[in-house]
Every structure is written in structure tokens, then in C-alpha cells.
Chains A and B, each alone.
Chain A
Amino acid sequence: MGRSLFSYIAIKLLHKIITLIFVILLIYALLRLAPGTPFDQYLYQGKITEEQYERLLEEWGYKDNFITGAIKVLYGMFTFNLFKMKSPVYNKPIIELISVRLPYTLGLVTAAYFFGTMLGMLLGLYCAKNRGTLKESIILWLVLGIRALPVFWLGMVLLYFLAFKAGLFPYLTASELKPQNVFHYMIDWLWHSLLPIIVLSKIYAVSYLLTIRNMTTEEYTSDYVTALRAFGLEENYIVERHVLRNIMPPIITMMAIDIGFLFGGAVVTETVFNYPGMGTLIYEAMWNKDYPVVLASFYIIAIAVIVAITIAEITYAYLDPRIRGE
């Protein structure tokens, strides 16, 4: 059994590495196809001559042929040289840019994810327990309304009413933080990040609520729960020992997949709030045609997704030996 689990993981990992290479090369191809370079604006503004422009292109590798560039990227992926490269816009190594921005996004995303999924799960279980009652339908209609609100709109509304009009929250960027001690820093961070956290966690709260509710309701109406009830077991015992255990594996997968997609939602949220995380970094890099930064950021995101999905698959295979046989 040990060996089959091991070979299952090995095959999955190989598959993931091929996917990673494919994804990064796809992004690289897109970048190469796109018109424009970061130096165009200097040329238009007359800050540099045609000759200097050509030399900059040469220097930053914008004139490499496609295959050479792709090989460089592949080499950079495996030796992590991708992060040591310099950004032509900031003229700094990418690792420096990312190491400043990544903690902000990770903090934001982790808090939003934790808050959102917990709220969603609790409300989902509550709905399933009270299925068919007025309480449940009130929650469900509310969810229907909240689900439809665009993230950026929610952000702007909160910013307008709570930050600008009521003055409860700062509307300056979180990079204004001046830490005095750890505790003060935490409070300050939370104060600056609470609105983005609320906005971002909305997506997770809603989707987890609906999924948990549907799955739990399905379990509740199945024969084995009816049988357990007939034996006179307590409702809470049934939920904890049987229902939750049965719905956990798919939930774990769902959670893992979502982790990667948090970055996508973070771009919009960070832009609305002018939050100094990876989202705004990628957004600026794209406008500036700062290809090394875009490539390195996507590499980080792709690795995060792959690690999350792999962990989910291993957990799943461990919990449910049937799928290993596939």
C-alpha cells in the first residue's frame, strides 16, 4: 500500500512539473507576442536616442530570438534565476520587489480566506440544519443578493462610506505603516487591511456556504443518516462523526484549488484599495511591460497553486484509497 501511494504521488508530481513548464512558456510566448517595450516611453519623451534605445533592448534581452529566450526562462525556472533577474523599470532585482510586496498579499489573502471560509462553513451547516425554515430562506436570499455584488464595487462603496464619509478607516495605502512594536504593528495592519479583507472574504463566504449547505443537505436526506436517527443517536453526534467526515474530502480539494485563485481576486481588491501587494505589483508591471516581473510573479502564483493542489491530492488519496487505483 505504501508503494502505491508513493507511485501515485510521483506520477502526479511529474504531471505538475510538466504543467508548470507549459504554463510559464505560455506566458512567455504571450509576453513576446505583445507589442511595446518598457523603454518606448523614454524614446517618445526624447530622453534617450534611437541608438541608446536599441542598446537597451539588446541589454535587457528584448532582442533575443524566441528559442534562446525560452531556454533562458526555463533555465531561470529551475535555478531560480528568474527572481535574481533585474526589472528594467525599477532597475532592481525582482526578488527585492517581490519580498516587499508578497507579505502584504499573503497576510491579506490568508486573513480573508480564513475569515471567509469559516463564516461560510458555519452558515452552511446552520442552513442545512434548519432546512426548509424561514431562517434558511432569509439567509439564502441574502446570499443571492450578496453573491451578485462585484468585488470592486463593494470595495468602492465601503471606501466611500466608511473611509471617506465616516472616517472610520484610513484610505491611505498600507505602506504608510510605521511599526513601533509588534503589537502596534498588528493593530495598524488590521486597521489598514480590514476593508480589503472584508471585500475579499465575501467570495469565499458565499461559495462555501452554498457548497456546504448542498452537500450537507444531501447527506442529511440519505438513507444512512435516517438509519442512524432511527437508532436514536443524537443529531450533533451524527453531524460530527458521520456527515462532516463524509463531506470533508471534496471540501479539502475545493479549499486547495481556491488558494491559487485568491491571487486573481486580490488584484482587483488591491487596485481598489491601492494596497501595496503582489496584485498591484503585477498590475503596474503589466502596464509598464515589465516582463521579468510579470513572469516571476506568475511563476510564484503557479507554484502556489501546484503545491496547494498536490497537497490536496495527497490528502485525498490518503483519506480515500479508492481513487489511487485510477
Chain B
Amino acid sequence: MVKKVSKRRDEVIKNLKEVFRFIWNHKMGRLGIIILVLLLIMALFPQLFTKYTPEWTSNEIFEPASWEHPCGLDHQGKDIWTQIVYGTRISLSVGFIAAILTILVGALIGTIAGYYGGVLDDFLMFISDSIMMLPSLLLLLVIASLFSSIWNIWYTIIVIALISWPSTARMVRAQTLQLKHRLYVQAAIALGASNRRIIFKHILPSIIPLLFARAAILIAGFIVTVASLTFLGLGDPNNPDWGYVMYTANKNMMIIVMKGMWQWIIVPGIMISLAVIAFVCIGEALEDYLNPKLRER
């Protein structure tokens, strides 16, 4: 038993190494990994990048950029670069957690719909069609602003997952329908395996790699979605992310123009773009890995 587990673990590590090697040798994948590692260092050790803390305030406000303060000081006398550095952790983790939740909900609903079929499938797909029909950012905006008095970052994550699952569910459902007719699944059904066993042992394992590629793309999208939301003033001031820095910048646009503090606008946007590029690149590389037909081209 123990031997079996360790053997399986070795196999997983071997596979992971292979995937990693493929991404590293992939032009876009390598770029993605390099940027992501840099961002992760910034998220985990913000002290390395700035000597101030987000709570630090100066008596000066709206001080233009200098060597001491690379992006200047904001309306409260806080160091803007420090806020950006500390915001990395929040932006990345919100995108990450939201993507994981979305994938979990999507995979669950997709396999159930695809596997059981019938009325249940129709009902779930009807709900998913209805949600897909609305612009998701607008829906998120409505929900966030209606509940703005009690809103915090966790609600953002949960609501994103609740309105973003349909596309993942559609993909998983299509895969499940295909897998259901494979011989080994039919054989398992004939042998009397329970539905739960078939879903978890035979169907989900074949879909999981696809979900990883999907997760990377979703994270990239969610980082921008959350930043847009906070930019529109629906952020959590206790957990300021990159979008929040741009929200305060937009509020003080006139003073920024007068004092020429363009770094306040430019730098947080570049951070968002870098994060998006990293995840999009890794996602593309993973997709190429999974789809050998594309690799030949």
C-alpha cells in the first residue's frame, strides 16, 4: 500500500517535471514563468522592494516622484510604490482563489450535467445560458454596489465564482459527454461501479489537465476584473490592490496633471499587465502541451 502511494507520487512528480520542462522550453511559457516568479517574490517578500509599510504616512501630500519615493506620495501622504508592492499579494491571491473556486463549481456542474443528462442537464444548462447572457462585469458591478455597505474582498471572490462558472461547465460537460462513451467508462458502468466512483476515478482525472490551462487564463481575466471593480470604487480599502491605487489616482486626476505625477497612473497599470501576460503565457504553453496537434505547427 505504502509502496503504491509512493510510486504514484513519484509518477506525479515525474509528470510535473515534464510539464515544467515543456513550459520552460516554450517561448511564451518561459516568459510567463520568469514574470510570475518575480511577482511571487514581490508578493511573498514585499520588504525587499520597499523600506516603507503601507501604513507609513508623511506630512507631505501629493509629493511628485523622487528617488526616495519612486511613485510619489498620495492624498494621505502614503508612499504609492509601497502600496503597489503590497498590493501584489492581494491582486494575485484574489485572482487565484477566484479561479480555483470558479473551476471547482464549473467542473462539478459540468460533470453532473454531462454524466446524468436528461432534465437535470437541461436545467443546469438553462441556468448557465441565462447567466452567460448578461455581461458579467455589469452583473458584478450591480451586486457589489448594491451591497457596498457590507462589501469586502471575499464577497468579490465568491460572486466572481458564482457568475463565471458557465463557460467552464460547458467545456467540462462537452468533455464528459465524450468520455462517457469511451469503452473503459462503459466497461466500468457494466461492471456496476457507482456513479460517484466513475465520475471521480474515470472522468475527472482526464479533465483535470485541461482545467489547469483554463485556470491560468481565468486568473489573468480575474485580475483585470477585480482591478476594474476596485477602480470603480467598489474595492476593499482595508485590502488595497492595484486597482485601488488607480482609483485614488483617478479621483485626484487634476492634481496629478498639475504636478506631473504620471508614475501614479502608469506603474500600477504596468503591474496588472505583467501579471496578465504571465498567466496568459503560461496558459498558452499549457494548452500547447495538452494539444499535440497544435504543437506540430
Which positions in A face B, CB cutoff 8 Å? 15, 18-19, 22-23, 26-27, 30-31, 33-36, 144-145, 147-154, 156-157, 159-161, 164-165, 217, 221, 260-261, 263-265, 267-268, 271-272, 282-283, 286-287, 289, 294, 298, 301-302, 305-306, 309
Q: Are A19 and B246 in contact (CB under 8 A)?
A: no
Complex Cα–Cα for A239 and B126 (A): 38
Residues of B within 8 A of A152 (CB): 227-228, 231, 246, 250
**Interface 0/1 of B161-204, CB less than 8 Å to A:** 00000000000000000000000000000000000000000000
Are B250 and A148 neighbours in the complex by a CB distance under 8 Å?
no
Contact call A150/B145, Cβ cutoff below 8 A = no
Q: Do A35 and B135 touch across chains, with their CB atoms under 8 A apart?
A: no
Given A150-B228, A150-B269, A272-B250, the answer on whether A305 and B146 have CB atoms closer than 8 Å is: no
Q: Is B257 an interface residue when CB atoms closer than 8 A count as contact?
A: yes
| Contact between B277 and A19, CB atoms less than 8 A apart | no
A-contacting 9-mer, from B37-45, B94-102, B136-144? B136-144
Q: Are the CB atoms of A144 and B232 closer together than 8 Å?
A: no
Q: How far is the CA of A248 from the CA of B133 in the complex (A)?
A: 22
The answer to whether B238 has its CB under 8 Å from any CB of chain A is: no
Contacts of A287 in B (CB 8 A): 145, 148
1/0 per position for B262-273, CB-CB distance to A under 8 A? 100110110011
CA distance in complex: A88, B277 (Å): 45
- A144/B150 contact (C-beta < 8 A), A151-B228, A286-B141 known: no
Chain A residue contacts of B130, Cβ below 8 A: 19, 22-23, 26
Select which of A36, A148, A149, A286 is within 8 A of B142 by beta carbon: A286
Asked if B273 and A148 make an inter-chain contact with CB atoms under 8 angstroms apart, the answer reads yes
> Taking CB as reference atom, which chain A residue is nearest B256?
A160
| Minimum distance in angstroms from B116 CB to a CB of chain A | 19
B251 to chain A, nearest CB (A): 11
Shortest Cβ distance from residue A82 to the other chain B in the assembled complex, whole angstroms = 16
The contact of B269 among A35, A153, A217, A267, by CB within 8 Å, is A153
Given A157-B269, A289-B146, A148:B134 Cβ within 8 A: no
CA distance A152 to B243 in the complex (A): 10
A303 to B297, CA, bound (A): 42
B133 touches A302 (CB 8 A): yes
Counting CB contacts under 8 A, is B56 at the interface?
no
Verify A164–B257 contact, CB threshold 8 A: yes
Name B's A-contacting residues (CB within 8 A).
Answer: 28, 126, 129-130, 133-138, 141-143, 145-150, 220, 224, 227-228, 231-232, 246, 249-250, 253, 256-257, 262, 265-266, 268-269, 272-274, 276-277, 280-281, 297
B136 touches which of A154, A264, A268, A301 (Cβ 8 Å) = A264
- Measured between beta carbons, the chain B residues less than 8 angstroms from A151 are 228
B280 near A150 (CB under 8 angstroms)?
no
Chain A residues with CB under 8 Å of B269's CB are 149-150, 153-154, 156-157
Of all chain B residues, which has the CB nearest A22? B130
What are 12 A-to-B residue pairs whose CB atoms are below 8 Å?
A: A33-B146, A35-B150, A148-B277, A153-B246, A153-B265, A153-B272, A160-B257, A272-B250, A286-B145, A287-B148, A298-B134, A309-B133
Which secondary structure dominates chain B's binding surface?
helix
Q: Which residues of A contact B246 (CB under 8 A)?
A: 152-153, 156
CB contacts (< 8 Å) of B138 on chain A: these are 263-264, 267, 282, 298, 301
A27 touches B142 (CB 8 A): yes
Residues B224 and A150 in contact, CB atoms below 8 Å apart: yes
B142 & A30 in contact (Cβ 8 Å cutoff): yes
Q: How many whole Å from B213's CB to the nearest CB in chain A? A: 15
With known contacts A160-B265, A164-B257, A23–B133 Cβ distance under 8 A: yes
Question: A294 CA to B129 CA in the complex, in Å?
Answer: 21
Which residues of chain A have C-beta atoms less than 8 A from B146's C-beta?
A: 30-31, 33-34, 36, 286, 289
* A265 CB contacts on chain B under 8 angstroms: 135, 137
Determine the distance from Cα of A256 to Cα of B279 in the docked complex, in whole angstroms: 28
Cα–Cα distance between A67 and B265 once the two chains are bound (Å): 47
Q: Using Cβ atoms and an 8 Å threshold, which residues of chain B touch A260?
A: 133-135
In contact, B272 and A30 (Cβ under 8 angstroms): no
Set of chain A residues within 8 Å of B262, measured between Cβ atoms: 160-161
Query: CB < 8 Å: which of A23, A35, A282, A283 contacts B134?
Result: A23
B147 A34 Cβ-Cβ under 8 A: yes
Closest chain-B Cβ to A158's Cβ sits at a distance in Å of: 11
Q: Is the CB of B137 within 8 A of A305?
A: no
Q: What 10 A-B pairs are tightest by C-beta distance, nearest first?
A: A264-B135, A34-B146, A153-B269, A148-B276, A286-B145, A148-B273, A264-B137, A164-B257, A264-B138, A148-B277
Would A145 and B273 be within 8 Å (CB), given that A152-B231, A260-B133, A286-B142 are in contact? yes
Q: A260-B135, A287-B145 are in contact. List 6 more A-B contacts (CB 8 A).
A: A22-B130, A36-B149, A145-B273, A261-B135, A265-B135, A294-B142
